[in-house]
Structure 1
Amino acid sequence: MPLFAVPRPDLAERELARALAAGPFSRALSLAIDRSGLGLARLRDRLAAAGVPVSTTTLSYWRTGRTRPERPDSLRAVALLEDVLGVPARALTELLARPGHPGTPDPVRWERLWGPRNGVLPALRSFEAAEETSLVVVNLHEELHVGADRSLTRLRVREVVRAVEEPVQAKVVALRGCAPGHPPRLVSTRYCRAVRTEVLPEPGFVLSELVPSRSLSVGETAILEYEFAYTDGVPDTSYDRRFRHPVAGHLLEVHFAPDSLPATCHGYRLDSPGGPERDVTAVALTPAAPAHLFTSGAGPGIRGLRWSWPS
Structure 2
Amino acid sequence: MGLETGIRRYTDAFAGSLRDAINARGLTLAKLHELLRARGNSVSMATLSYWRSGARRPEGAQSMAALGDIEQLLHLAPGSLTGLLGTTNRTGPLGPIQFPLDEEELEQAVKDAYTALGAEYPDTTRELTTHSVTDVDASGNVAYSITRSILQATVGTVTSTPFLEISPGISTPPPIIRAVSGGRISAHYSHPNGEVHGVLFEFDAPLTAPATAMVEWSVEYPAGYPPQRETGHAMARQCRELLVWTRFHPDALPDRIEERVETPAGVTTTELSLEGRGSVHQVRRAFGPGALGVSWSYADGR
TM-score by length of 1: 0.60
Cα shift at 1:175: 0.2
In the other structure, the counterpart of 2:23 is: none
Alpha-carbon separation, structure 1, partners of 2:218 and 2:105: 28
Please give the secondary structure, in 2, of the residue aligned with 1:215: strand
Is the 1:269–1:303 Cα contact (8 Å) retained in structure 2? yes
Cα shift at 1:127: 4.0
The AA in structure 2 aligned to 1:299 is G
Q: Does 1:255 align with 2:243?
A: no
From the superposition, tell whether residues 130 and 157 of structure 1 become closer, same or farther in structure 2 (CA, over 3 Å): farther
Following superposition of structure 1 onto structure 2, how do residues 260-271 of structure 1 map, counting pairs within 5 Å? 260-271=252-263
The superposition leaves residues 217-261 of structure 1 with CA deviations (integer Å, 9 ceiling, x where unpaired) of 322221100111112443333223221100000000111111211
Greater relative contact order structure (CA < 8 Å, 6+ sep): 2
Q: Does 1:185 align with 2:191?
A: no
Q: Does 1:136 align with 2:126?
A: yes
In the other structure, the counterpart of 2:282 is: 293
In the other structure, the counterpart of 2:93 is: 65
Is the 1:268–1:277 Cα contact (8 Å) retained in structure 2? yes
Cα shift at 1:150: 1.8
Alpha-carbon separation, structure 1, partners of 2:185 and 2:234: 20
Q: Does 1:175 align with 2:165?
A: yes
Alpha-carbon separation, structure 1, partners of 2:209 and 2:255: 47
1:206 alignment partner, one of 197, 205, 230: 197
Please give the secondary structure, in 1, of the residue aligned with 2:228: coil
Cα shift at 1:160: 0.6
The AA in structure 1 aligned to 2:181 is R
Is the 1:171–1:210 Cα contact (8 Å) retained in structure 2? yes
Alpha-carbon separation, structure 2, partners of 1:246 and 1:228: 23
Alpha-carbon separation, structure 1, partners of 2:3 and 2:114: 47
From the superposition, tell whether residues 175 and 303 of structure 1 become closer, same or farther in structure 2 (CA, over 3 Å): same
2:291 alignment partner, one of 274, 277, 302: 302
How many pairs align? Answer: 211
In the other structure, the counterpart of 1:197 is: 188
Please give the secondary structure, in 2, of the residue aligned with 1:122: helix
In the other structure, the counterpart of 2:53 is: none
Cα shift at 1:276: 5.8
The superposition leaves residues 278-298 of structure 1 with CA deviations (integer Å, 9 ceiling, x where unpaired) of 2x3443315644211111110
Is the 1:139–1:248 Cα contact (8 Å) retained in structure 2? yes
* Higher Rg of the two aligned structures: 1
Please give the secondary structure, in 1, of the residue aligned with 2:162: strand
Please give the secondary structure, in 2, of the residue aligned with 1:259: helix
From the superposition, tell whether residues 233 and 123 of structure 1 become closer, same or farther in structure 2 (CA, over 3 Å): closer
Please give the secondary structure, in 2, of the residue aligned with 1:123: helix
1:113 alignment partner, one of 87, 101, 125: 101
TM-score by length of 2: 0.61
In the other structure, the counterpart of 1:158 is: 148
Please give the secondary structure, in 1, of the residue aligned with 2:251: coil
Please give the secondary structure, in 1, of the residue aligned with 2:112: helix
Higher strand share: 2
Q: Does 1:218 align with 2:209?
A: yes
In the other structure, the counterpart of 2:61 is: none
Following superposition of structure 1 onto structure 2, how do residues 42-57 of structure 1 map, counting pairs within 5 Å? none
From the superposition, tell whether residues 194 and 287 of structure 1 become closer, same or farther in structure 2 (CA, over 3 Å): farther
From the superposition, tell whether residues 290 and 166 of structure 1 become closer, same or farther in structure 2 (CA, over 3 Å): same
From the superposition, tell whether residues 260 and 289 of structure 1 become closer, same or farther in structure 2 (CA, over 3 Å): closer
The superposition leaves residues 5-48 of structure 1 with CA deviations (integer Å, 9 ceiling, x where unpaired) of xxxxx998xxxxxxxxxxxxxxxxxxxxxxxxxxxxxxxxxxxx
Q: Choose 117-126 or 292-301, whichever is displaced more.
A: 117-126
RMSD between superposed Cα atoms in Å: 2.9
Percent identity of paired positions between Structure 1 and Structure 2: 17
Cα shift at 1:115: 1.5
Please give the secondary structure, in 2, of the residue aligned with 1:277: strand
In the other structure, the counterpart of 2:228 is: 236
Cα shift at 1:126: 3.5
